[in-house]
Amino acid sequence: MPFWHEQVAAWQAGWAAAGLPASPRITLTPPGQEGVLTFNIFPLLRAYKGDPEAAAQAVLAPIEGLARSQVVRGFVNVSFTPEFWHRFLKEVRLRAERGYTRLTLAAQEKLMVEYPSPNTNKPLHLGHLRNLCLGEAVCRLWERLGAQVIRANLVNDRGIHISKSMLGWKKFFAPATPQTTGKKGDHFVGDCYVAFEKAYRAQVEALKQQGLSEEEALVQAPLFQEAQALLRAWEAGDPETWALWRQMNEWVYEGFEATFQRLCIRFDRVYYESETYKLGKKVVEEGLAQGLFYREEDGSVWADLTAEGLGKKLLLRGDGTSVYITQDLGTADLKFQEYPELTRSVYVIGNEQDHHMRLLVALLRRLGRPYAEAIYHLSYGMVELPTGRMKTREGTVVDADDLLDEMHSRALDLVEEDLPPAERHAIAEAVGQAALRFYLLRVDPTKNIIFDPAESIELKGFTGPFLQYGLVRAQRLLEKAAEKGFDPYIEVPPPVVEPTEEKLLQQLYGLPEVWVAAARSFDPALLAHYGYELTRRYNEFYQSLPVLAVEEPVRSFRLALTQAYKIAMEAVMETLSLPVPPRM
C-alpha cells in the first residue's frame, strides 16, 4: 500500500488516464466534517457541466478502499474501510522510513544552513536558543525529505564588539581568567563586555552634559576611541593584540562547546569572521574596480543601492577597516567556492537583520554572483522577557546556560523522588529541554515570543512534556502487551473503525505531507502543531477505548494503531530535538 505522496501520484496517473482535465487538490478533511480526505473538485465542474456528483464520480473511480463519500458543494469528503486502514498500519510497521517518516522528494538538493552565528564577546543567550532550535529543526526537516544538509556556524570573532570585550578585560579584569574566577569562559568574557559598556555609557553621558550630541558623544568617548585603536591594531597584525584576542576567544569557544554538547548540537563547517573578512575586502575591491561601488573623499567605499530601494551602504571605512557586510560578502563567496553544488544557502538570523540580508543579496546580484538567488533568509522574531527585551550591554540578558539550569530544576520537581539520583536528573534534563525547545518551536518563526518557563513545562496543554507523556504512555502500553504475549500484527482487520480511531488514523495518514509543508516553508511550528494534535487524538483514543481488554482482531488493530503512533511521534520528536525519557 503506498503512502501519501505515492498514493496521490497513483491517483493522479489514474485521473490523467481517464482524461480528467485537472487533478483535484487533496487535503485532510477539516474538523467538524465527516471524512478523512477532502478532494477539491471545483476545477472540474466546468468539464462536467456544473454537476458535482458527476465530477465526484470521476474523481473517485480509481480510488480503492472507499467506505463512504459525501459531496459538499465543490468538495468530496471520503472515508476508508477497515481493510484500507489495516493495510496502512501494516505498511507503517514494515517500511516507515521508505515514504512515511523519511522521503526522497528532495534527494537532489543540497543545503547549507548557517546558525547560530554567535559573537565571541558574550555567552549564548535565550535568543540564541531559539536560533539553535530553529536551525537544527530545519536541518532535520530537510533531511527527512532526503536532502543533503551541511550545518554551518559563522563565528563573529572580530570587530568593534570584540575589541570592547578585550578592552574591558584589560581595564577592569586583568589578570583574572575563567580559571581564577571559577567562571565558564563565555560568561567571563561577557562580564568584560558588560563592564566596558557601563563605563562607556558613563563617559557618553558626561560628554553630553558638556554639550555634545548623542551621536558626537558616542564616537568621541575615550573608551570608544581606545576600542577603535585596538581594532586597527588587530587588523594591522599587532602581536600583543592578537595574543590577547586568541586567548579570550579560546575562553569563549570552550564555553560555547559545552553548551552545544548539552544541546546535542554539532556543526559540519565552522567559519570565522577573522578569516573571511579579508575575502570580503577583495570582493569589495573587485566591485570598486568594475565601477559597481564608489569611494568617498575620506577613503570609505560605498554601494549606491537607491534604485533597489535600499539606499547607500558603507562597505569599507575610511581607515580601511571592515563592516559586517564586508565579511558576509566574503563568507557567501567562500561557501559556494567550497560547495558549488549547493542548491540553497539558508541564513537563520533574527528579523532585526532583515535589511542587512536584503543588502547582502542586492550586493551579490550587482556583483553578478549567480548564487545570489539561492540565498534564503529564515527571519525569526525576538524572544522577550515579561519585563521587555534582553540587552547584553546592560547585563540583563538571559544566559542560555542559566535558563537550561532553571528548566532542569523545574523539571526535577516533577520527577519521582524515590528514583536513583542519576536517573532523576537524566529525566529532568530531558523534560526541561523538551519544554524549552517545544515552546520556542511551536510559534511561527516570524512571531515574537514571550518565554514563560512555568507554562512551558506543564504536562497538559500545548507543551513539550505533553508530547513526551503521550509517547511514554504508548511505549508502556506496548510493553504491557508484549509481557502478555499479545501480537499487534495479525492478518485480520477489525469489523469496524471507531470514530476516535478514525480521527487518529487521519492524523497519522497525513504525516508525509507535513514533512513537506514544514520543510518547504522553513517552519518547524507546522510539525510542532502536528505533533500536538496527534498526541491529543491518541490520548482521546487511549482514554475512550480499551486496548488490551478486548478480543481479537480489535485488540491487535488497536495495538498496531498505538505502534504507528509511536513510530510517527518518535520521528516528530527526533526532528524537533525533543528527548524522550524512559518514564514520566
* Residue pLDDT, tens place only, 132-142: 999 999 999 99
pLDDT, averaged in runs of 10, over the chain (584 residues) = 88 94 94 94 93 95 95 94 96 94 97 97 95 98 98 95 97 98 97 96 97 96 97 94 98 98 97 92 96 97 97 93 90 97 98 97 97 97 71 62 95 93 97 98 96 92 97 97 91 94 97 97 98 98 97 96 98 98 90
Task: Residue 252: name the closest of 161, 136, 325 by CA.
Answer: 161
Angle at 197 between CA 194 and CA 200, to 5 degrees: 150
Strand 383-384, strand 269-272: pairing:
unpaired
Would you call 381 exposed, middle or buried from its count of C-beta atoms within 10 A (0-12, 13-18, 19+)? middle
Across the beta sheet with 25-28, what order do the strands follow?
Answer: 25-28, 37-40, 75-80, 66-72
Calculated CA dihedral for residues 407, 411, 413, 415, nearest 10 degrees: -160
- CATH topology for 110-294+321-394 is Rossmann fold (3.40.50)
Cell of 295: 569611494
Query: Residue 30 carries which DSSP code?
Result: P
Residue type, 327: Q
pLDDT of residue 584: 84
pLDDT of residue 319: 85
Helix pair 273-289, 324-338: axis angle to 10 deg: 100
Task: Give the DSSP per-residue string, 306-353.
Answer: GGGT-EEEEEE-TTS-B-HHHHHHHHHHHHHHH-TT-SEEEEEEEGGG
Strand 75-80, strand 449-450: pairing:
unpaired
Given a contact cutoff of 8 angstroms between Cβ atoms, the answer to whether 584 and 431 are in contact is: yes
Q: How far apart are CA 310 and CA 472, in angstroms?
A: 52
Residue pLDDT, tens place only, 32-66 = 899 999 999 999 999 999 999 999 999 999 999 99
Listed by start position, the domains of the chain span 4-80, 110-294+321-394, 400-575
pTM over 0.85: yes
- CATH topology for 400-575 is Isoleucyl-tRNA Synthetase; Domain 1 (1.10.730)
pLDDT of residue 490: 82
Residue pLDDT, tens place only, 61-112 = 999 999 999 998 899 999 999 999 999 999 999 999 999 999 999 999 999 9
pLDDT of residue 375: 98
Q: Which CATH architecture is the domain 4-80 placed in?
A: 2-Layer Sandwich (3.30)
pLDDT of residue 320: 84
Strand 375-380, strand 344-350: pairing:
parallel
pLDDT of residue 513: 96
